[in-house]
Structure 1
Amino acid sequence: MKNLRNLLASTVILFTSLTVSAQTADEIINKYFENIGGKEKLSKINGFKMNLVSNYNGMEIPIEIFNDKTGKMYVKVNFQGKEITQLAFDGKTGWSTNFMTMKPEKLDSETTENMLSQIYDFPDPFYNYKDKGYKVEFLGKETKEGTECFKIKLTKTPITVAGKKEENVVFYYFDAENYVPIMTESEVKEGPSKGQMSTSTMGDYQEVDGMFFPFTMNQGGQEMTVKSISINPTVDAKAFEMKVE
């Protein structure tokens, strides 16, 4: 009987801790949405266009990024006065520009499959995350960049790496005062840095049409400053097409 009481007590404690953890994660996420403008405004966003500048070896390189709810996206780089489509996806086919030949090349099926899974990240990975099959977990507090943060583990749709399904996890660090992400961490799944953690930081949140977005970012040591953000812009469909000469 004593063992049974102990088992029941342990079960109650475990269930309670899981419930509190889930509620805490949802509270943080809901506060985040509230602080950046609200879920209602977020739900009306069909597409983003962002113009930014990347600092590369002392040079400022203009970059234009677009993505929308259908999965269409492109990344255009202006290098020495020439516009280059670094990456594009029309919702079905992905392609990139080979910087050696300067010719477009179709992405392999595995990369395309992974890009399709990223459609669910729009307009925000946490938006209706349960409907997407994503999971969140509150992991407590940590200090990052000298700032006390809430650490949340976001588990998304698995990705395919070398023909095998791999766990797709991103750790988010929310500023404990302002409830906005200031850093993310995720494991590198392939290449020379495989197994290491890739870190991205973001800050300087500014208002655009009633919504707040980070205007400074650093990804893999590459600093980027946002110059402008357009919400629901009109984009020519040809911008996503792979041009074969």
Structure 2
Amino acid sequence: MKKILLVTVMFFGFVTNAQSVDEILSTYYENIGGVENLKKITGVKMTASVNQQGMEIPLEIYQLSDGKQMTIINFQGKEIKQGVFDGETLWGHNFMTMKAEKSDAEATENMKLNMNDFPDSFIDYKKKGYKVEFLGKETIDGAETFKIKLTKEPVTVDGKKEDDVSYYFFDTENYVPIAIQTEIKSGQAKGMISQVIMSDYQEVDGLYFPFSMTQGIKGQPGGQPITITKIELSPKVDAAAFLFPEEKK
């Protein structure tokens, strides 16, 4: 009898958890404009500025439905491209030499894994083979949130496969994400938790997007505030803008 009761409790616990996740995501999509409307857009262009030690630096951020993406930094009259991906090659300008440099094979292959995540990683997450778990409630910057764990396809770090895990925090009042936390896998900050705080959701052509974001390390002061001034949906972008510029001989 005890065994049957235990199995029953475990089963209903699993069902409740699954329903909670899907209900949260369903309300989220309903509140920001609907899944079907999100799926219709072919890209997003964000005009923004980042505050770097008191200096406002203009940015243009592109994300397209076919996986192409790039960030254009306008600094001291120079156009610097970072995180440029054309679907096959990942590259960016070296800040010191101003020359375009390709990323290594490992970073490029990891980038390819994200090609089916536009405009949102949670859309059709089951078809993608992702795992989503509801971990309860947690307070972030004074706001009560639903904490959701997203596990995607494993990434390669220093030749080894590692789980690609992020934690999303959905505001319990409006059901929109106000924070994302991810463990840093490599570099000097390896092992630390990167954190993006999002706020100031505004309507753009019937859909809602955060217009303020701060990127930093969890538990550490500071961070880089990014203020978005304009968002364009399904922008027309020349595919050549994403291509790696081969040096002329």
TM range (shorter): over 0.9
In structure 1, distance between residues paired with 2:91 and 2:233: 24
Q: Which runs of 4+ in 1 moved over 2 A?
A: none
Secondary structure of 1:11's counterpart equals: helix
Secondary structure of 1:77's counterpart equals: strand
Residue of structure 2 aligned with 1:27, choices 14, 18, 23: 23
Residue 87 (structure 1) shift: 2.3
In structure 1, distance between residues paired with 2:64 and 2:161: 26
Q: Report the more deviating stretch, 7-16 or 177-186.
A: 7-16
Letter in 2 for 1:64: E
Give the equivalent residue in structure 1 for 2:219. Answer: none
In structure 2, distance between residues paired with 1:227 and 1:80: 20
Give the equivalent residue in structure 1 for 2:163. Answer: 167
Letter in 2 for 1:226: I
Q: Where does the alignment leave 5 or more consecutive residues of structure 1 unmatched? A: none
Give the equivalent residue in structure 1 for 2:126. Answer: 130
Residue 58 (structure 1) shift: 0.6
1:168-210 deviations in Å (ceiling 9; x for gaps): 1110110000000001111111112211111110000000000
2:59 maps to 1:57: no
In structure 2, distance between residues paired with 1:10 and 1:40: 40
Letter in 2 for 1:8: I
Residue of structure 1 aligned with 2:230, choices 218, 221, 228: 228
Letter in 1 for 2:230: S
Residue 162 (structure 1) shift: 0.4
Secondary structure of 1:115's counterpart equals: helix
Letter in 2 for 1:159: V
Secondary structure of 1:214's counterpart equals: strand
Q: Aligned pairs, how many?
A: 241
Residue of structure 2 aligned with 1:111, choices 107, 120, 128: 107
In structure 2, distance between residues paired with 1:100 and 1:43: 39
In structure 2, distance between residues paired with 1:171 and 1:83: 33
Secondary structure of 1:217's counterpart equals: strand
In structure 2, distance between residues paired with 1:67 and 1:101: 26
Give the equivalent residue in structure 2 for 1:243. Answer: 245
Q: Report the more deviating stretch, 78-87 or 174-183.
A: 78-87
1:148-171 deviations in Å (ceiling 9; x for gaps): 111111111111100111111110
2:191 maps to 1:195: yes
Secondary structure of 2:114's counterpart equals: helix
Residue 121 (structure 1) shift: 1.6
Give the equivalent residue in structure 1 for 2:74. Answer: 78
Letter in 2 for 1:131: K
1:73-107 deviations in Å (ceiling 9; x for gaps): 11110001211112211101111111111100111
Provide the TM-score with structure 1 as the length reference: 0.96
- Identity over the aligned pairs, expressed in percent? 55
Provide the TM-score with structure 2 as the length reference: 0.95
Secondary structure of 1:51's counterpart equals: strand
